[in-house]
Structure 1
Amino acid sequence: MDISKTIKAITSKWQKQLGAPTLDIDSLEASIHQRLPADLRSFLQWSNGGNCKFKNIYIDLWPTGAINKLNQEYQIAKYLGSKHIGIGTDGGSTCIALDYTTTPPTICTFDLGDIDTSKINHLKLSFSETINMANAGALTDKNIYQ
């Protein structure tokens, strides 16, 4: 399923924010030295952050202007290196992140209170697949916690 179908499927549930201008997304990519996956770029253009309580999981996506700042505050690069970029949380201490050790980048999760490379949960899903699984009720706290 492409991102436009994903967006259509969650529009009534997602707490949408004003979409991010392309310039803001480009600026974020320059600051993290990585290109965002196309599906996430498109999603951010539709809703710059936002959140949703899906059937079995809550997802809070950070806006483009907060991603770099929150990654620095949580010291994600210090503990995991520059190949993991936090993009949101489960509303609690679990970070939802992009894993750039894979091509294309996939979603991984880890505990913001105990950041350690040995404790990364590699979901190995695209951003779209992650949202689709959450929307279908197939992504739960048991999937994202290691």
Structure 2
Amino acid sequence: MVRVTALTSPLLLGFDDLERALDKVSKTGADGYPPYNIERIVAEGGEPERLRITLAVAGFSQDQIEVTVEENQLTIRGRQQEDKTREYLHRGIAARQFQRSFLLADGMQVLSADLAQGLLSIDLVRPQPERVVRKIRISARD
């Protein structure tokens, strides 16, 4: 069976990676934990525009969170160990694990990851490439 997508147009050449990225994003789970924000931080003082991903990770310590980048995928994992020494009368805050992944565009770089007051902030930047116009020489064949 041949799969037809919007990227199969004969005018779109070399977008196979984009199609695979869209497939990967569509297969990610719809779990809403932990909640997150993505914000744009405007360029100031010669620094480029940045993106900041902020995840609400209250209850997780620095050593219980792992941030990795593999190829173009940013993955944040959290693993809490249950404290067996405590006896709960009511347990409304569960010790849970999470994994949240973001697919990054080519050239995106992770600048930093900071944990403060239960919020994990990850700053990203995409250096602006120089615009290059190149003239292609046409060969004549008889």
**How high is the TM-score relative to the length of structure 1?**
0.24
Q: Which has the larger radius of gyration?
A: 2
